[in-house]
Amino acid sequence: MNGSERPRGEPGLLLRAGLALLLAVVATGLTLALLAGPASPGLTDAVAESLAGSGASNPVTAVLLNFRGYDTLLEMAVLTSTLVGVWALGPAPRIRETDPSPVLLGMNSVLIPLAPLICAYLLWIGASGPGGAFQAGAVLAAAGVLFIISGRRPAVPLPTAPMSWGIVVGLGVFVAVSLAVMPGGRQLLEYPRDLAGILMLLIETAATVSIALILAGLFIGGRPEDEP
């Protein structure tokens, strides 16, 4: 920490002191705000009042897909554009070909068939309990990552479709639904009451597929070779 021995380019004492002072001010402010208690009653009651007409009985899902649908729509846009950004950086680095360990293969043979089941359960239960598209997509993506690192190919030839379609389907369905509800004097993302549940399930299903593909694609770290 001796100033005269510090190599060039290292942050000086002034920067450290300034940063420490700034962080101390932030910490003091946040602590005072936390100790003062909640400044407003929050939105719990407002959510509970409108929950009946939202199409979901889980308040978090209702907020995500209905009351704050904009956030989730833009979040899908962020996810999609992130993968576009990673693909734009270049082709995927080749994963070193090694023999996968038998433990991984054994675990894969148990976990990968279970993953779609868990995914479907999480997707369905999201309407009434903890769960939803993001959790379901993450589970499916985890199965994809396990499959990628095992280096194996599927024994049965799977029907192939461009990965890019699956990546944009979540955002596409979300935008299509949010626009399709507009005739009849409704605003963007204002679902009809009796259709809200089924529309949210439709959006979430498409989003799950996209989220799983995007997260697995981000793990690959570049554009796959067979993608344009």
Partner 1 sequence: MSSALLYACAGMGLLLVGTWALVLRAHLLRKVLAINVMGSGAFLLLVGAGAMGSGPVDPVPQAMVITGIVVSISATALALALVLRIAYATGKPALPEDRERDLMDAGGR
User: Contact between 27 and partner 1 (CB under 8 A)?
Assistant: yes
User: Contact between 96 and partner 1 (CB under 8 A)?
Assistant: no
Is the separation of the CB atoms in 126 and 72 below 8 Å? no
Is the separation of the CB atoms in 54 and 66 below 8 Å? yes
Residue 204's closest CA among 118, 136, 142, 128? 136
Nearer to partner 1, 68 or 152 (CB): 68
Among 42, 154, 159, 228, binds partner 1 (CB under 8 A): 42
Among 13, 17, 21, 71, binds partner 1 (CB under 8 A): 71
Among 54, 72, 208, 210, binds partner 1 (CB under 8 A): 72
Among 13, 17, 52, 78, binds partner 1 (CB under 8 A): 78
DSSP H/E element including 176: helix 163-180
Residue 147: Cβ-neighbour burial (10 angstroms; 0-12, 13-18, 19+): middle
The site for partner 1, by CB under 8 A, has a size of 52
User: Contact between 13 and partner 1 (CB under 8 A)?
Assistant: no
Residues within window 125-164 making contact with partner 1, judged by CB under 8 A: 132, 134
Q: What is the largest CA-CA distance in the chain?
A: 73
Nearer to partner 1, 89 or 188 (CB): 89
Task: State how far the Cα of 220 lies from the Cα of 61, in Å rounded to an integer.
Answer: 30
Nearer to partner 1, 67 or 105 (CB): 67
Task: State how far the Cα of 165 lies from the Cα of 169, in Å rounded to an integer.
Answer: 6
Among 3, 37, 159, 185, binds partner 1 (CB under 8 A): 37
Is the separation of the CB atoms in 61 and 51 below 8 Å? no
Backbone angles phi, psi at 130, to 5 degrees: -60, 125
Smallest separation, CB 155 to partner 1 (Å): 30
Among 86, 111, 118, 146, binds partner 1 (CB under 8 A): 86
Is the separation of the CB atoms in 98 and 151 below 8 Å? yes
| Token couple for 228 | 């344009």
Cα 109 to its chain centre, rounded Å, is 26
Nearer to partner 1, 166 or 222 (CB): 222
Residues that bind partner 1 (CB under 8 A): 1, 7-11, 15-16, 19-20, 23, 26-27, 30-31, 34-35, 37-38, 41-44, 47-48, 59-60, 62-64, 68, 71-72, 75, 78-79, 82-83, 85-86, 89-90, 93, 132, 134, 211, 214-215, 218-219, 221-222
